[in-house]
RNA sequence: UCCUCGGUAGCUCAAUCGGCAGAGCAUCCGGCUGUUAACCGGGUGGUUGUUGGUUCGAAUCCAACCCGAGGAGCCA
């Protein structure tokens, strides 16, 4: 029995005889010479089958291999600059092979396909090189998120997915039946996070969240993952410092650990290398002025056909606005102090100017939009109850939340970072559906 | 909910003014010792999204519906 190794470890086994277990990605048959591209989940490696080097049975088996057939292939690892693969530069000079199964005709070819077809075959599409690379980067982003928070004094306290009422509005909730009582799939764990900081100081929750928005764009999913850190004794400025450290760490971890994956994705690395503290910060007032100067000059929005639309002070930004602002910077940019009226009820108004609140969105470069939204939370009972009234929300639902301000209230802040938008940005992915294994998008949840 | 675009072979797409349903890839057969989405020769493969209408004749024109994509709004 030969040593079984992973393709990723091939460079450590040059001139040794090893066995790879995997699937045939594609094949080039040259008569007495066959090139097999073998995947094993860790990479793709070229296995070269010379007729004179193997038994006639093994050679015939190789000829019969179809795309995605499962196999064990044994041979000597050779360093060869001509060898393609991930990582390339090494190939297997085959001495023997065993077919596990000859696969049926495989629907996905290593060429262009339409979106509908690929989504319908998502269970197979995840084997393709691009999808494989994206999902590996996603796993790195998740590790980086947990590592940074765990190493910086945050305690992971997860929050419920079944909730009795909306945190921020009711139109985008998935309703389910909780034994005769209506319940909703969580859109955020933030309110519970705020309870948790009074026990643990700095906490985060990290899990799936659900939005029944009728949104059908490349930036929306019905089910997506969000990490939500929440910090006691922290104001808006403190929050932005944490966010820029956190996001920079995530990006740098991907650069360090996923060079091969980013190469498969043909991602421009230099724009990611710039992602380091500190990030530019602009006030909502400045952003409005910037947008209206651009609108007056008739500038167009990168990636859109339309010109920059004029904006009235007090309105929230639309996607074209966000995209234009983000395009003015070569790093993620903070926009802070949004108008109080367009933001959620719990955001702390600026004491000297209550028309704006201590909120901040982080906009990713290259058109990937808002990857994070956060704020300093209202710390006083009276302000909070006024805020709940002003938004027309049922006071009774928030009794425990208001309670938190009665027992040792402090300035506190938090944000939510959208996992898929972050991964899409790092990978340069065209659509969020590519950065989660089984996307839930409007009108489709199969497979 | 609204706007725009689309649906033809397993996949990606052609089909001129309404006039024989056509390629490439995949698959199958044959050839080839350095291929990178190989190449060369041959074969298989069709209820043109659905229903109805106009017409001698419809993939093509008309109507309704179904499905998909991108975007707006909303949001991470």
pLDDT digits (tens, 9 = 90+) for A241-254: 999 999 999 999 99
Dist. CA A130–CA A185, nearest whole Å: 31
Dist. CA A251–CA A243, nearest whole Å: 12
Highest mean pLDDT: which range of A121-125, A251-255, A443-447: A251-255
Respond yes or no on whether ipTM tops 0.95.
Answer: no
**Which of chain B's bases lie under 7 Å from a protein CB?**
1-2, 10-13, 25-28, 31-39, 67-76
Residue with CA nearest C1' of nucleotide B24: A111
Rounded, the Å distance between the CA of A445 and C1' of B68 is 14
A342 CB contact with strand B at below 7 Å: yes
Which tens digits make up the pLDDT trace of A350-409? Answer: 999 999 999 999 999 988 889 999 999 999 999 999 998 888 888 888 999 999 999 999
Q: Is the pLDDT of residue A200 over 70?
A: yes
Q: Is the pLDDT of residue A164 over 70?
A: yes
Share the mean pLDDT of chain A: 92
> Going from the N-terminus, what domains does chain A have, and what CATH number goes with each?
3-101 (2.40.50.140), 122-280+329-435 (3.30.930.10)
User: Going by C-beta distance under 8 Å and a sequence separation of 6 or more, which residues neighbour residue A396?
Assistant: none
A420 CB contact with strand B at below 7 Å: yes
pLDDT at A217: 87
A226 CB contact with strand B at below 7 Å: yes
Residue with CA nearest C1' of nucleotide B39: A30
pLDDT at A216: 83
A211 CB contact with strand B at below 7 Å: yes
A318 CB contact with strand B at below 7 Å: yes
Helices A236-257/A419-427 angle, 10° precision: 50
DSSP labels for A125-165?
Answer: HTTSHHHHHHHHHHHHHHHHHHHHHHHTT-EE----SEESS
Q: Is the pLDDT of residue A304 over 60?
A: yes
Dist. CA A425–CA A429, nearest whole Å: 7
Q: Which of A203-207, A231-235, A299-303 has the lowest mean pLDDT?
A: A299-303
């Amino acid at each position: 029995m030969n040593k079984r190794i992973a393709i990723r470890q091939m460079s450590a086994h040059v001139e040794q005889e090893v066995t790879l277990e995997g699937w045939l990605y594609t094949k080039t048959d040259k008569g007495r010479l066959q090139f097999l591209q073998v995947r094993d989940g860790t990479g793709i490696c070229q296995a070269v089958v010379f007729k004179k080097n193997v038994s006639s049975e093994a050679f015939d088996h190789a000829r019969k291999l179809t795309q995605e057939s499962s196999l064990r292939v044994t041979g000597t690892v050779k360093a060869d600059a001509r060898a393609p693969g991930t990582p390339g530069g090494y190939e297997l000079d085959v001495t023997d092979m065993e077919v596990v199964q000859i696969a049926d005709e495989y629907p996905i070819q290593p060429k262009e396909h339409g979106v509908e077809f690929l989504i319908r075959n998502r269970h197979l599409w995840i084997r393709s090189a691009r999808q494989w690379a994206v999902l590996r980067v996603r796993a790195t982003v998740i590790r980086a998120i947990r590592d940074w928070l765990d190493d910086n004094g945050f305690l992971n306290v997860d929050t419920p997915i079944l909730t009795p009422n909306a945190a921020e509005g009711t139109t985008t909730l998935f309703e389910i039946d909780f034994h005769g009582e209506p319940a909703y799939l969580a859109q955020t764990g933030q309110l519970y996070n705020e309870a948790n900081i009074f026990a643990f100081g700095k906490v985060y929750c990290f899990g799936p969240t659900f939005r029944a928005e009728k949104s059908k764009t490349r930036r929306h999913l019905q089910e997506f993952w969000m990490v939500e850190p929440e910090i006691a004794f922290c104001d808006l400025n403190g929050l932005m410092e944490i966010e820029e450290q956190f996001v920079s760490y995530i990006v740098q971890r991907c650069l360090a650990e996923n060079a091969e994956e980013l190469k498969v994705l043909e991602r421009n690395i230099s724009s990611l290398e710039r992602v380091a503290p500190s990030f530019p910060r602009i006030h909502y007032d400045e952003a409005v002025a910037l947008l209206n100067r651009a609108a007056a000059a008739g500038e167009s929005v990168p990636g859109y056909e339309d010109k920059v639309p004029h904006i009235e002070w007090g309105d929230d930004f639309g996607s074209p606005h966000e995209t234009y602002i983000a395009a003015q910077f070569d790093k993620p940019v903070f926009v802070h102090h949004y108008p109080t009226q367009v933001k959620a009820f719990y955001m702390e108004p600026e004491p000297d100017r209550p028309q704006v609140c201590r909120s901040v969105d982080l906009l990713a470069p290259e058109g990937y939009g808002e990857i994070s939204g956060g704020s300093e939370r209202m710390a006083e009972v009276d302000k909070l109850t006024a805020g709940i009234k002003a938004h027309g929300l049922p006071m009774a639902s928030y009794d425990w939340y208001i309670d938190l301000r009665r027992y040792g209230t402090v300035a506190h802040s938090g944000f939510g970072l959208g996992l898929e938008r972050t991964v899409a940005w790092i990978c340069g992915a065209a659509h969020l559906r590519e950065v989660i294994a089984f996307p839930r998008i409007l009108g489709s949840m199969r497979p």
